Chains A and B, each alone.
Chain A
């Protein structure tokens, strides 16, 4: 039996005063991709914020690589190997594209004990669109380039688990195709992915497993291959 890289058990989390996550449980094995789907307000972003340490007020258990990590702050979880590509990309506007990448690389350089698999050069190789934009301000590039930058920035922290919140939101089909090609390449190297995607067909096509959240609870869970589009849509809309 394969060991889970991430195990979430009975997780409760709040978004402000609202109980957004209510007893969510799931497992993700190393090297696999889990899609998290659900309508707006289902609790997807709150779940990701809890897993990445941005939300401290949770109950339940989160185990990453055998360690209990609930309550560990975000900057410490990144060092342990969990990176989040946040919804809205959250690019640092006063930094150039290259500086946005460097700021992540700088922090990893201070931890010489871990081997470096990702460098800025590799990120530029993965996303050639960023090369010409390297000296432009983070707020001066297109939404697609921002998503590439956000993914590249997360990779430079050398994660073992990559969380992606809303991969394709607001992006053109051509850009979405490029992004998923890049994610496929990352996945082929053994990266574990947990991602939020609005498009149900895209979620089913790219993931090994899928959970559908509805009002903070898991409405549907299973392997992506075993789910029909209709079953997922029924769960999605409640």
Chain B
């Protein structure tokens, strides 16, 4: 019974890990750039919620509706004015630029919000529902449901809208996309905005679920990176599945070897999967 509870929890936390990885996957899938600032954007969303919006009396759900568009605007602006100009000059410049923004963000959060641990105090955090003798955390259920909803919305956006088609065309071949009157710079900014907005959703859920610090961003980035690599680079469904695999590995590791082994078990499982399937669990099928 305890093992079943761990597996269910792994599945649910995997939903949150999936959202954390989705943004990185979108950026990489569209621009072939590893956005090193992605984890910090998630943490920025969490801080915006916990230190500004909720203390101002805005209920968490309403606050989330503000975090997401604000993060979209931040992601869009970062891409348009800072990361965008570094593209097309090799692999290193965008890595350095996103690393630089990450460092600035972490220090700005440290300066503005101190190094104290934060979390969103909510009645949801301690609420649970019973399912046939098992108690499931309501927050974790929310993590999974919102993660699934984000994945569904992304599929709708990419598959059914003009913006989605243009993003996929740009991802396939940005030069030919220009011949279709698509400006790749605008598409990249849109992709970065969408990725940051999903990061905002992840930030809200993370604030509800875990404790965080200004330096939590790189830990998030590591989760996102592992999730994306395990799932298959550029594959959204793979990313979500990767989140579930990583979360289950961590929880099972903690159960069998002790809590301090959670992270290392996750890393070992990622390593093992890469040895067997270097292309990830569900790589993109088109060449």
Contact = CB atoms under 8 A, between A and B. Distances in A.
A95 B169 CA distance: 7
Interface in B194-234: none
A52 B175 CA distance: 11
Interface of B: 162, 165-166, 168-169, 171-173, 175-184, 284, 286-287
Given A74-B178, A84-B179, A102-B165, 6 more contacts: A78-B181, A79-B181, A90-B179, A93-B286, A103-B162, A106-B162
Contacts of A86: 176, 179
Per DSSP, chain A at the interface is: helix
Interface residues of A, number: 33
B179 A78 contact: yes
Interface centre among A90, A100, A102, A106 (most CB of B within 10 A): A106
Contacts, number: 83
A99 interface: yes
The 8 A-B residue pairs whose C-beta atoms are closest, nearest first, are A106-B162, A94-B286, A74-B178, A107-B181, A78-B181, A90-B176, A93-B286, A92-B172
A118 B186 CA distance: 26
A89 to B, nearest CB: 9
A108 B168 contact: no
A100 B179 CA distance: 12
A220 interface: no
Contact of A103 (B175, B180, B183, B287): B180
Contacts of B173: 90, 92
Contacts of B181: 75-76, 78-79, 104, 107-108, 157
Contact of B165 (A83, A106, A137): A106
Contacts of B165: 95, 99, 102-103, 106
A90 to B, nearest CB: 4
7 contacts: A78-B180, A93-B172, A94-B284, A103-B166, A106-B165, A154-B179, A157-B179
A104 B286 contact: no
Interface string A128-170: 0000000001110000000000000110010000000000000
A74 B179 CA distance: 6
Contacts of B179: 52, 54, 74-75, 78, 83-84, 86, 90, 154, 157
Given A75-B182, A137-B286, A95 B176 contact: no
Nearest to B184: A75
Contact of A94 (B166, B168, B175): B168
Contacts of B177: 92, 103
B180 A139 contact: no
A148 to B, nearest CB: 16
B169 A103 contact: yes
Looking at chain B's contact residues, the main secondary structure is helix
A153 B180 contact: yes
A54 B175 contact: yes
A139 B171 CA distance: 15
Given A95-B165, A95-B168, A102-B165, A107 B182 contact: yes
Contacts of B168: 92, 94-95, 99
Contacts of A100: 169
Contacts of B175: 54, 74, 90
A106 B286 contact: no
A115 to B, nearest CB: 16
A92 B176 contact: yes
Contacts of A73: 178, 183
Contacts of B182: 75, 103, 107
B124 to A, nearest CB: 39
Nearest to A99: B165
A114 to B, nearest CB: 12
Interface string A81-125: 001101000101111000110111011111000000000000000
Contacts of A99: 165, 168
Of B173, B179, B182, most A-chain CB atoms within 10 Å: B179
A139 B183 contact: no
A90 B180 CA distance: 12
Interface in A49-85: 52-54, 73-76, 78-79, 83-84
Contacts of A94: 168, 171-172, 284, 286
Contacts of B166: 103, 106-107
Nearest to B284: A94
A33 to B, nearest CB: 20
A132 B43 CA distance: 49
Contacts of A95: 165, 168-169, 172
A157 B287 contact: no
Contacts of A78: 178-181
Contacts of B171: 94
Contacts of B184: 75
Q: Which of A52, A73, A86, A92 has the most CB of B within 10 A?
A: A92
